[in-house]
Amino acid sequence: MSILITGFDPFDGANINPSWAAVELVPEEVCGQRVYKMQLPTIFGKAAELLCAEIERVKPAVVMCCGVANGRTGVTPELVAINYRQARIADNIGQCFFGVPIAPGGDAAYMTRLPVNDMVEAIREAGIPAYLSYSAGAYVCNDVYYALLQSEKAFGHRGLFVHVPGTEAVDAPKAAQALAICLEKALQHNIG
Which residues does the annotation mark as catalytic?
78, 141, 163
| Nearest CA-CA partner of 147 in 163, 132, 134, 159 | 159
* DSSP structural state of residue 41: P
**23 closest CA partner among 142, 177, 158, 130:** 177
What is the rounded CA–CA span in Å between residue 133 and residue 16?
23
Of 62, 33, 32, residue with least CA distance to 161: 62
